Chains A and B, each alone.
Chain A
Amino acid sequence: MVTDKMVDYPQFLNLMNKEWLVNHKVSEDKKLELRLGPPGEALDYNRNTTHGTKRAFQHTAETRTGEKEWPVDTTKNQCQKISCIEKIGDKVNLPPTPWSSGSTIYSAFSKDTKEEPQHSKASFFQNLPVSKKLAGMAEDFKQPCSPRMAVGEVQFADGKACCSLATADPDASTNITSNKRIEYSPVVGWPPIRSFRKNIASNSLSKPASESSNDKDTGGKPENPKTQLFVKINMEGIPIGRKVNLSAYNSYEELSLAIDDLFSGLLAAQRDPSATQNESKAKESAKAEAGPLAGSGEYTLIYEDDEGDRILVGDVPWNMFVSTAKRLHVLKSSELSTLQICSNEKEKAPFDPAVHI
């Protein structure tokens, strides 16, 4: 895939061949990703911009060598947590979807040659090969042969090298990638979709036309003000409770599976103390036991809402449940009749398996 253009920019080749750079960048970017948004922190649109600028440079150098997933994967979890910051009342403005993490190469111009240690230590490493590349390319572009160099661009030749990349990239992208493109890091506000349109896949309760909505969780639930909604969950008969992050799930089914997972280990431990030595073993045996547990109707899931009432899980739409549930309880179904439960008026005789674990 080496074309003439690439021969002109040996730095390009070097960068593409350097595995260390790929790996390094991925891990550094993971650091960057984490730094982007501890939960609840007000995200400034620019912080993403400046972080992203460094990353953007990296991306122009790289092809899709197994890196394709990284902006999605590494940011997915983070975005799940921090995407909900677009809640209105908090006046936090930025929905940090995967593409909100950075501006484009063009906007990096003002920052690429500067060291900005407070933004990211990782960027220092990124800057090194980048500036080299820039310097190399800037030199190449000082030649007057490029027809697309407008007069006005000369002013940038001294240090910013803004223009060179700009003119380079459309070329580079079409030469290097005929039908595919160079991987770009995500960008603020692109594609131009308003935030309330972004979470279609995860919000719809229907079977989505494409693959499961879990993979497409680009933003989480906009109405949830908290980035992580951890609530306590206690299972009857087990003295130690767990905590579960409601905003990590999209449906009752997912939640019940997760709760199943959470308690299977503990259940198994209670039944067979020796199995706790090896956690994975415990999980395995627990899973063997959990098989019949799930869907058996042996347990019922209850939640406490913000008024303190105990309500059967499953009545309200998932999103409403997440916003009102404060605590969860897993009770043995046989015990239900003895409890005073504030449930809905309708008596549902066959309990929905989604609600049971």
Chain B
Amino acid sequence: MSEQMSDDDERQQSPPSDLDFTSNKARTCIVTGSVSGHTEFQSPYPDQVLENVLENVLHFLTSRRDRNTASLVCKSWYRVEALTRSELFIGNCYAVSPARATARFTRVRALHLKGRPRFADFNLMPPDWGAHFNPWVLAFAKACPWLEKVYLKRMSVTDDDLATLAESFLGFKELVLVCCDGFGTSGLSIFVSKCRQLKVLDLIESEVSDDETDWILCFPEGESHLESLIFDCVEYPINFEALERLVARSPSLKKLKLNRYVSIGQLYRLMVQAPQLTHLGTGSFSPSEIAGQGDQEPDYVTAFAACKSLVCLSGFREIIPDYLPAIYPICANLTSLNFSYANITAEQLKPIISNCHKLQVFWVLDSICDEGLQAVAATCKELRELRVFPVDAREDSDGPVSEVGFQAISEGCRKLQSILYFCQRMTNAAVIAMSRNCPDLVVFRLCIMGRHRPDHVTGEPMDDGFGAIVMNCKKLTRLAVSGLLTDKAFDYIGRYGKLVRTLSVAFAGDSDMALKYVLEGCPQLQKLEIRDSPFGDAALCSGLHHYYNMRFLWMSSCRLTYQGCQQIARAMPRLVVEVIRSADEEEMDVCVQTLYMYRSLEGPRNDAPKFVTIL
């Protein structure tokens, strides 16, 4: 779970070194005798030694920020760094082209690509916008045959791409697809059948279409190297017998996350085969037969007790709470527990959570109510990350959780670093309390589901609460705001949110000033996503000094006009300014529905669909 979605634990990334127009760093070479190899009188020997030394040293440099910085020292360092970079991270697949990436980094072993903007997950953009993996896989197949690991987020991957992956990279080991789509079970079948060295196949929150191919059966016979198999997002039944055999012949398997078509009885059989698991997704956690009570139930408690290494538990897709006691034996060891699909009450949670003393990551549904959160606060003193999702994600429903649970968490879990909290009502007082109780907060995402909801006790806007967060939480890098917010809140953010890198705004602010405060005040801002807020062209122009330092800016249903966006596009040639309209709209409107703009070395992309206009 810690690998998922959140890039808040990514280290600060300086602008990519290939965007040379942004960096005014001197290119003076501090290493004698290796200036571009021009100097004829120098014998090649010191050059060679130096480069070899550099290569060996730079191998130890893993952080991409450090590597970016190192590559700016001089051309020699640039060259060596490029040769020694084994993990290539590209935060926006359209910022560089595959050709450019493969030309510079020839020995890459791992590729990490991100595609669509996050708001696309909430249907704010028509499908087929882009972010295709295809050109990347083709380019890398030609240039970097030693590629072993691919990590994609929000990209479109086709079955052919999966086939190409499997066929072009002989030692391919790891494939992780997060929030991806475009492929199906037939692509998976080809992929698993050809990747004989496969260690990791993680499908996380991706859409997999059912081509009615039995992909589990396609894993090659014989001992498998599988260490991680995650397919809980696959919404189709799988061949359980084949899976059982696969697990039996995968002695290295540590992570297994099943989908909801695996019953608890089947889970038992798998756990018995794989007690060495460290991460387990339980599947449905209910029996397959509706009427099966007469049968002998397997001893689930013993099965769980046998998994002594289990630290991460998730699944519970169709939970029958009667079976929950089965997990008692391992609660004390758990560092990560994901109940976000389990519609359980506080009473059902308490016996579990009261044993989870080591818990650091907890995802849960608001069905546990404030009372359940109080129970969490009472026990989980090591909690670092909490996510509370709504069972009923509507604006007008009665919220089972409120500021009461929120404040309890802040008082009990002082080490909290990351929180995502959906609720219907909140107070400034509770948010201020959290800002004081949890100074280590790095990620603060509060979603008051009713739009423009004020503090429900005082009737005031939520400005002071969020203000306190940016003021008191000095390590804050990611912030998502909600509720009734005036420009004042953004003034606070601009003034105190000096480390904020990601900011999500929805239905907030009064005027352009709000956006100005943020763009002028937050020097580390990299990702800004705004929807349905009254910000116009003037506000957009106030960020011109900063846009090259950002990965992207998203503004939908704001008050931007065509002319305004065009001004930006003209002023900043290395910025790709996309105006996205609804798929069936023919003509260009004066008002811009969605603006998505990002820095890029390549200029306008050539795969833009009809509903995208690049200015």
Q: Which residues of A come within 8 Å of B, CB atoms?
A: 44-47, 49-50, 68, 72, 88-89, 91, 93-95, 98-100, 103-104, 106-107, 109-110, 148-153, 155-156, 160, 162-163, 166-167, 169-170, 173-174, 178-179, 181, 183-184, 186-198, 200-201, 203-210, 216, 218, 222-223, 252, 314-317, 319-320, 346, 348-352, 354-355
Contact = CB atoms under 8 A, between A and B. Distances in A.
Contacts of A188: 122-124
Residue from A187, A195, A197, A206 having most chain B Cβ neighbours under 10 A: A206
Contacts of B593: 49, 107, 110
Interface size class of B (residues with CB under 8 A): 35 or more
Contacts of A93: 123, 126-127
Contact of B343 (A153, A173, A178, A200): A200
A200 B606 CA distance: 40
24 contacts: A45-B125, A50-B582, A68-B396, A88-B208, A104-B507, A106-B557, A150-B538, A152-B512, A160-B591, A163-B534, A184-B451, A187-B532, A189-B124, A190-B507, A192-B506, A201-B391, A204-B343, A205-B284, A210-B367, A218-B392, A223-B236, A314-B289, A317-B286, A351-B291
A174 B461 CA distance: 9
B10 interface: no
Contacts of B295: 346
B536 to A, nearest CB: 5
Given A188-B123, A189-B122, A314-B290, A197 B534 contact: no
Interface string B1-40: 0000000000000000000000000000000000000000
B466 interface: no
B447 interface: yes
B511 A149 contact: yes
A106 to B, nearest CB: 5
Interface in B440-467: 447, 449-454, 456, 459, 461
Contacts of B559: 106, 109, 153, 156, 162-163, 166
B237 interface: yes
Contacts of B507: 104, 190
Contacts of A179: 456, 459
Contact of A190 (B210, B392, B451): B451
B511 A148 contact: yes
Interface in B559-615: 559, 561, 581-585, 589-591, 593
Q: DSSP class of A's interface residues: helix, strand, loop or mixed? A: loop
A191 B422 contact: yes
Contacts of B558: 106
Nearest to B563: A155
Given A45-B582, A152-B512, A218-B393, A174 B506 contact: no
Given A174-B484, A200-B341, A352 B291 contact: yes
A222 B459 contact: no
B512 A181 contact: no
A107 B591 CA distance: 9
Contact of A152 (B127, B128, B538, B590): B538
B589 A110 contact: yes
Contacts of B123: 45, 93-95, 100, 188-189, 195
B87 interface: no
A179 B235 CA distance: 41
A354 B341 contact: no
Interface in B449-505: 449-454, 456, 459, 461, 484, 486-487
A190 B585 contact: no
Contacts of B369: 209
A206 B320 contact: yes
Residue from A99, A191, A223, A355 having most chain B Cβ neighbours under 10 A: A191
Given A106-B532, A160-B591, A173-B452, A46 B126 contact: yes
Given A206-B344, A314-B291, A351-B291, 5 more contacts: A148-B510, A153-B534, A155-B536, A174-B459, A174-B484
Interface in B111-155: 119, 121-128
In the A-B complex, the 7 residue pairs with the smallest Cβ-Cβ separation, listed nearest first, are A46-B582, A189-B122, A152-B538, A107-B557, A110-B591, A89-B209, A352-B291
Interface in B214-234: 233
Contacts of A223: 235-236
A107 B395 CA distance: 19
Contact of B557 (A44, A72, A103, A163): A103
B556 to A, nearest CB: 8
Interface string B333-366: 0000000111111000000000000000000010
B390 interface: yes
A68 B454 CA distance: 20
A94 B456 CA distance: 33
Interface string B283-306: 010101111001100000000000
Interface string B305-327: 00000000000011111000000
A223 to B, nearest CB: 4
B394 interface: yes
B121 A194 contact: yes
B400 interface: yes
Contact of B321 (A173, A206, A314): A206
Interface in B144-190: 179, 181, 184
Contacts, number: 258
Interface in B511-535: 511-513, 531-534
A100 B291 CA distance: 38
B310 to A, nearest CB: 23
A150 B509 CA distance: 12
A53 to B, nearest CB: 10
A270 B390 CA distance: 49
B261 interface: yes
B591 A109 contact: yes
B375 interface: no
Interface of B: 119, 121-128, 179, 181, 184, 205, 207-211, 233, 235-237, 260-261, 263, 284, 286, 288-291, 294-295, 317-321, 340-345, 365, 367-369, 389-396, 400, 422, 447, 449-454, 456, 459, 461, 484, 486-487, 506-507, 510-513, 531-534, 536-539, 556-559, 561, 581-585, 589-591, 593
A170 B507 CA distance: 10
A252 B289 CA distance: 11
Contacts of A196: 205, 233
Contact of A197 (B286, B288, B340): B340
Contacts of A106: 532-534, 557-559
Contact of A44 (B394, B454, B583): B583
Contacts of B367: 208-210
A272 B319 CA distance: 46
B317 A210 contact: no
B233 A206 contact: no
Nearest to B323: A206
A200 B364 CA distance: 12
A190 B321 contact: no
Nearest to A203: B318
B124 A191 contact: no
Given A148-B510, A209-B367, A352-B290, A194 B205 contact: yes
Contacts of B210: 88-89
Contacts of A49: 582, 593
Given A49-B582, A106-B532, A163-B559, A317 B288 contact: yes
Given A110-B589, A204-B318, A348-B294, A47 B395 contact: no
A259 to B, nearest CB: 16
Given A45-B582, A314-B290, A151 B451 contact: no
Contacts of B235: 88, 222-223
Nearest to B209: A89
A196 B234 CA distance: 11
Given A44-B582, A191-B449, A317 B263 contact: yes
B92 to A, nearest CB: 20
A189 B291 contact: no
A200 B391 contact: yes
B127 A206 contact: no
